[in-house]
Amino acid sequence: MTATQDRPAGAGATRPEAARINKPVRHRSIPLLDLYQTAVGKKWVMAITGIALMGFVFAHMFGNLKMYFGPADYDSYAEALKTIAYPFLPKTMVLWLFRVGLLVFFALHIHSAYSLTRMNHRARPTKYSRRDYIAANFAGRTMRWTGIIVALFLLWHLADLTFGLGNPDFVYGQVYNNVVTTFDRWPVALIYVIANLALGVHLYHGTWSIFQTVGSMNPHFNPMRNPVRRGFAAGFTIVVIGANISFPLAVQFGIVGG
Amino acid sequence: MQLKLKVWRQDGPEAPGRFETYDAVDIKPDMSFLEMLDVVNNRLVEAGGDPITFDSDCREGICGTCGVMIDGQAHGPWKGAATCQLHMRAFRDGDTIVIEPWQAAGFPIVKDLMVNRASFDAIVSSGGFISADTGAAPDANEIPIPKPVADSAMDAAACIGCGACVAACPNSAAQLFTSAKLAHLNLLPQGQAERFKRTEAMVETMEQFFGSCTNHGECHEACPKEIPLDFIALMNRDYLKSKLKNRKLAGQVFP
Ligand code: HEM
Ligand code: SF4
Ligand code: FES
């Protein structure tokens, strides 16, 4: 046993220092602004913008259910969006506030996701040859990819139904007609279904993850294995994505616009 | 038992790493994992080779020095056990075992399986203490602390600083360690005076070395002390409060 007591040359002699992957935080006169320099702060930004985006996808889905009531109802709903709080405020003002707000939320959400991803790559320069995950699930590990699919889809969605690019039957303002004519083409319907499945995977992990990020941990709401959190995440995702996917399918099967 | 080991060898901090394969023969199921490595090293030395460098001290799960990745799991397959507490009966005769060091920018490799965890010391020395004069030891139970709170603080204090949480995390995030070190002081009355200063300093020091949490929960699965994820939620909340609270009025309300 004596042989092993000789210290191998090198060990103990050199103590390598850890590389710093981030600069120290510069404290501002308004401490709240420090948050965006830090990862925990950026996660708060992701969570809060994520909640706002959840509110948006829910409202968007809920409003679109009107298409099941026919062209008159659906088009007047689209028109009503432009006159929220009118005549107290000018027409389309609230709509524009929503649009600008959404754009800012998207930008912050995507920028913090991007910068945290870069940070995480710096934090693990050498990968393991083999890694057995126990807790991390598919949804959690693919957030970046489902997020990118959703972002690309969003651009395409705006081009398709807001600007009418690529749809010869598009008529500005005739929302029902535009939805029916675009979803009538099966490749378009397919893209909507696939993109919504990606959004569903993203939402499922996101709606579960926010509870931890914002520090909700009251065992009265979160007993063993967090059934309330999982249930909320699954329920929210199924309702939003289920309804969203039903729209292109309803057009394809002639239930809407048939 | 007869086993094959695929071990990460790296001559020094800057040297490139490589895998080497060794035969582990005459292994008894009741040996600990580190004893198995001792046996392999003895034979290596007898054959004139360079023994595999790994860290260990207490060999009873309390010092936190011994962690390695075993078949892609930090501290190997047993839940709630450090590498030194893992026994060879966890493996089957003829198995091939892959052994790697913790891989993280915050834990530079000294040699082979041994890493420098001094970045954890940097986190603790930035705020993981109470700087009031303590005087003589007070009577027990002089400061009332609700039993569930005392229990949580004790759970947090069980962290041995082994680094398995960082090693197991896909992002090399040190949230579980830092939040445990924070919670064991932040939950107790004695820790309140510096609670938000401490949280701010320790989180910001942590982020100079480690990645960002994505709430996967791999750290908790790997942790030999089974530190709960709730402490990370508490840390997230306390960090936000550290930026929001008017510390000149701290102590007015017990949050
Ligand atoms: C458009 C591109 C998008 C990208 C690149 C993106 C990326 C990400 C990433 C990387 C995360 C972090 C996951 C984690 O830390 O576990 C995340 C979280 C989240 N995302 Fe997105 N996302 C996008 C769009 C959306 C949309 C449209 C919504 C909502 C409808 C959304 C809702 C959420 C929520 C609620 C979270 C949870 C935040 C948290 O963990 O606290 N995201 N996103
Ligand atoms: S939290 Fe657990 S895994 Fe992390 S350093 Fe402490 S004891 Fe080790
Ligand atoms: S050698 Fe001390 S914890 Fe394993």
Decide: helix, strand or coil at residue B45: helix
Question: Cβ(B161) to ligand 3 under 6 A?
Answer: no
- Res. B68: pLDDT tops 60: yes
Ligand 2: which atom is nearest the Cα of residue B180? 1
**8 Å CB contact of B216 and A42:** no
Q: Do B212 and A124 touch (CB under 8 A)?
A: no
In chain B, the percentage of residues whose pLDDT exceeds 90 is 88
Identity of the residue in A4, A18, A208 whose CB atom sits nearest the CB atom of B51? A4
Class of domain B3-110: alpha beta
What residue ranges do the domains of chain B occupy?
Answer: 3-110, 117-131+142-249
Omega within 30 of 0 (cis) for the link into A87: yes
Nearest CA to A18 out of B128, B121, B129, B169 is that of B121
Q: Which residues contact A43 (CB under 8 A, 6 or more apart)?
A: A112, A116, A213, B212, B213, B236
What is the C-alpha to C-alpha distance for residues A198 and A207, in angstroms, rounded to an integer? 14
Backbone angles phi, psi at A29, to 5 degrees: -70, -25
Instruction: Give dist(CA B150, CA B58) in Å, integer.
Output: 27
**Which among B246, B211, B214 has a CA at the least distance from the CA of B229?**
B214
For residue A33, what are the contacts with CB-CB under 8 A and spacing of at least 6? none
Alpha-carbon span A234 to A228, nearest angstrom: 10
For ligand 1, whether the C-beta of B212 sits within 6 Å is: no
Helices H / strands E in chain B, number of each: 8, 7
What is the nearest CA distance from B136 to chain A, expressed in angstroms?
A: 36
Q: Which ligand is nearest to the CA of A201?
A: 1
CA distance A144 to A128: 21
Q: What is the Cα gyration radius of chain B?
A: 21
Q: Which of A113, A99, A208 is nearest to A154 (CA)?
A: A99
What is the structure's pLDDT at A77? Answer: 93
Beta-bridge partners for B96: B4
Checking B12-17 for CB contacts under 8 A at 24+ apart, the result is: B12/A10, B12/A14, B12/B110, B12/B111, B13/A14, B13/A16, B13/B108, B13/B109, B13/B110, B13/B111, B14/A16, B17/A126, B17/B109
43-82 of B, contacting A, C-beta below 8 A: 45-46, 50-51, 53, 69, 71-73
Question: What pLDDT score was predicted for residue A183?
Answer: 95
Q: Which residues of A touch B214 (CB under 8 A)?
A: 120, 140, 143, 209
Give me the pLDDT at residue A187, please: 94
The Cα B214–Cα A40 span in angstroms is: 10
pLDDT in tens, chain A (258 residues): 344 444 444 444 568 888 899 999 999 888 888 999 999 999 999 999 999 999 999 999 999 999 999 999 999 999 999 999 999 999 999 999 999 999 999 999 999 999 999 999 999 999 998 888 888 888 899 999 999 999 999 999 999 999 999 888 999 889 999 999 999 999 999 999 999 999 999 999 999 899 889 888 766 666 556 788 888 999 999 999 999 999 999 999 999 987
How close A31 comes to chain B (CA, Å)?
Answer: 5
A157/A151 Cα distance (integer angstroms)? 10
Average of pLDDT values for B110-122?
96
Report the relative pairing of strands B96-100 and B3-9 from DSSP bridges: parallel
Residue from B168, B178, B176 nearest B202 by CA: B178
Cα B41 to averaged position of ligand 3 atoms, centre (Å): 18
The CB of B151 under 6 Å from ligand 3? The reply is: no
Class of domain B117-131+142-249: mainly alpha
| CATH class in words for A33-123+139-252 | mainly alpha
Give the pLDDT confidence score for residue A102 in this predicted structure: 96
Q: Say what the ipTM of the complex is.
A: 0.89
Cα A81 to Cα A119: distance, rounded to the nearest angstrom:
40
Q: How confident is the model at residue B65 (pLDDT cuts 50, 70, 90)?
A: very high
pLDDT higher than threshold 70 for residue B185? yes
Half-sphere exposure of B198 (CA within 13 A, CB side): 24
| Helix and strand numbers, DSSP H then E, in chain A | 8, 0
User: b/e string for B40-77 if b means 16 or more Cβ within 10 A?
Assistant: bbebbbeeeebbbbbbbeebebbbbbbbbbbbbbbbbe
Residue B248 — pLDDT band, cuts 50, 70, 90? Answer: confident
Of B23-27, B134-138, B145-149, the one with minimum mean pLDDT is B134-138
pLDDT tens string B79-96:
999 999 999 999 999 999
Asked whether A158 and A222 are in contact (CB, 8 A), the reply is: no
Distance between CA atoms of B224 and B222, rounded to whole angstroms? 6
Find out whether B103 and B167 touch, Cβ atoms under 8 Å: yes
Instruction: Give the contacts of A65 (CB within 8 A, at least 6 positions apart).
Output: A243
| pLDDT for the residue A257 | 86
Chain A residue nearest residue B122, CA to CA: A18
Bridge partners, residue B87, by sequence: B32
Closest CA to ligand 1's atom 14: B214
